[in-house]
Amino acid sequence: MKILIVGGGGREHALAWRLSQSPKVTSIVCAPGNPGMANVARCIPIKAEDIEGQLRLAKDERPHLVIVGPEAPLAMGLADKLRLADIPVFGPSQAAAQLESSKGFSKDLMKACNVPTAEYGRFTNADEAKAFLDKFSAPYVLKADGLAAGKGVVIAETREEAETSVDEMLGGQFGDASAELVIEEFMQGEEASFFVMTDGNTAVPLAGAQDHKRVGDGDTGPNTGGMGAYSPAPILDEAMQERVMDEIVNPTIKGMRDMGMPYTGVLYVGLMIGPEGNPRVVEYNCRFGDPECQVIMARMKGEILPLMLACATGFDLADCKRPERFEDAAVCVVMATEGYPGSYEKGSVIKGFKEAEASSDGVVVFHAGTSEKNGEIIASGGRVLGVTALADTVTHAIDNAYKAVNEIDWPEGFNRTDIGWRAKGRG
C-alpha cells in the first residue's frame, strides 16, 4: 500500500518510521517531510497548509491512505477535499476539527454531553468578560477561541493581569483567533494526554502519555510546543483509562455523531486529574501530540495501519482491539535551538546521529526542525530533534534517552534534563 503523510515534524517522522516497518506498506510519500523522513519516504516540498497543493499531490499519487499530521490543514478542510476526491484520509472533517479549532465549540459540546471540564463562559465583549472574572479567584484562565499555534492560553496570576489580557486578546493579540475568548475556572491537578482512534462510532484506546510544556527544568519558564514526553503515564492506569473512555471519550464521540459531524481519526484528550482522582478535560486536539506521538509510535509493536484504514473508511474498527504489545515504556527528549521558544538562529550543524542511535537498543532520533545543506544536517526550527528511547521501564528509557542525547554533537542546541521526572521510580 502507498501512504501519503502530510506534515514534516517529529510527529510525522514517527508515523512514517512506524509505518515503514509494516509489511503491508510498499511506499510512503511525505509532504513536505524532512531529512529524517527521507530515510524511509519520498519527500515532496509542499507545505502542510497548502491545501490545493496537497490535494493535487494526492490526486497525482493516488495513495491508499492519506494521514494528516498537523491541525492546521484539518481545520482548513483538507480531509473534506480528499474525501470528495474519493481518497481515504485519516483525520477529521473541518467541522469535526472544531473540537480543536474552536475552544468555545469544544466547551459547548462538553457541556451538552455532560463531559467533565472546567466551568466557563464565551465572550466577544470586554466588559462582559471582565465581569465574568468575578465568578473565579486567581489564577484566571483565558483562552483565544481559535488556533494560535499553542500560544493562545493565558494563565493570569492577578485580576489586573487578567483584565489586561482580556483587552489585549479581544484587541487582536492573536488576530482572528482571539476575536472571541473563553474564560474558565482554573483546575488543580496532574495533566496527562490520552489518545484514541475512532471511525466516528467506535473508539479504540491507544495509550496515555505526559508532555513537558515549559522550556526549563522543574517545569519553569515559558510554554513551548512540548520539550519531551513519556508513555505510559503512571497516572493513566487501566482503571483511569476506563473512566476516561466512559465519562469523556464515548460521550464526546456520540455527541459529535448526534450533531451530524462524526469525528474520525485520532482524538487527543488533554486531561487534568484532580486531587480526588477525577479526570476532567483541559482541551481536545484533533491530531496526535508532538512529541507524544514519538513515544506512542516507539511503544507500538502491533500494526497501526489496519486501525488507521478502519478509521478512514469506517470499516471494521469495531473488530480492531487495542493494539497489541504496548507494555514497554518510551521517553522522548526534545532538543531545541538555543533561544527557543523566543527567537533563535537557523543553520547550525548537527552531528552524532549514528552514535546516538547506537548508544542503546531501542533508540531512534526523530527529526523535527532540520534541513539538509551540503550533505550535512542543519537546524532549521525551534524544536529540532526528538531523541527517543524504548526500554522495559520508564526509568531505563529515561537513562537511555539521555545517553543518546549526550552523543548528539550540536553546541547550539539545548534540552531539558528532567524529562520523565514524574514517572521516575513509578514505572
Q: By CB under 6 A, name the binding residues for ligand AMP.
A: 118, 141, 153, 184-187, 191, 213, 270, 282-283
Buried b / exposed e along 88-117 (16+ C-beta atoms within 10 A):
bbbbbbbbbbbbbbbbbbbbbbbeebebbb
Q: Identify which of residues 248 and 300 has a Cβ nearer to ligand AMP in the complex.
A: 248
289 binds, among ligand GLY, ligand AMP, none (CB under 5 to 8 A by kind): ligand GLY
Q: How far is the CB of 401 from ligand AMP (least distance, A)?
A: 22
Among the listed residues 33, 152, 226, 255, the single contact to ligand GLY using CB under 6 A: 226
> Any idea what the Cα angle at residue 121 is, between residues 119 and 123, rounded to 5°?
160
Of the residues 34, 178, 202, 285, which one makes contact with ligand GLY according to CB under 6 A? 285
Dihedral sign for Cα 31, 367, 76, 248, please.
positive
- Touching ligand GLY, residues 30-69 (CB under 6 A): none
Indicate if the alpha-carbon torsion angle 251, 254, 258, 260 is positive or negative. positive
**Least distance in Å: CB of 223 to ligand AMP?**
7
Closer residue to ligand GLY (CB): 118 or 166: 118
Nearest to 166 by CA among 176, 157, 156: 156
Considering only residues 205-224, where is the footprint of ligand GLY by CB under 6 A? 211
CA diameter of the chain:
60
CB closer to ligand GLY, 265 vs 289: 289
- Main-chain dihedrals φ then ψ at residue 19, nearest 5 degrees: -65, -30
| Binding span for ligand GLY by CB under 6 A among 17-25, 89-97, 180-188, 288-296 | 288-296
CA distances, 38 to each of 8, 25, 95, 258, 297 (Å): 10, 16, 33, 42, 18
According to CB under 6 A, which one of 50, 184, 290, 412 is a site residue for ligand GLY?
A: 290
Within 287-393, residue ranges assigned H as helices are 292-299, 305-313, 353-358
CA torsion through residues 9, 31, 296, 103, sign: positive
**128 is in the binding site of which of ligand GLY, ligand AMP, none (Cβ under 5 to 8 A by kind)?**
none
Site for ligand GLY contains 289 (CB under 6 A): yes
- Both ends of the chain: CA-CA distance in Å? 37
Residue 305 contact partner, candidates ligand GLY, ligand AMP, none, CB within 5 to 8 A by sort of partner: none
Q: Which helix (H) or strand (E) holds 350?
A: strand 349-350
Residue of minimal CB distance from ligand GLY? Answer: 226
Partner whose footprint covers residue 191, from ligand GLY, ligand AMP, none (CB < 5 to 8 Å by kind): ligand AMP
What residue ranges bind ligand GLY (CB under 6 A)? Answer: 211, 225-226, 285, 289-290, 292
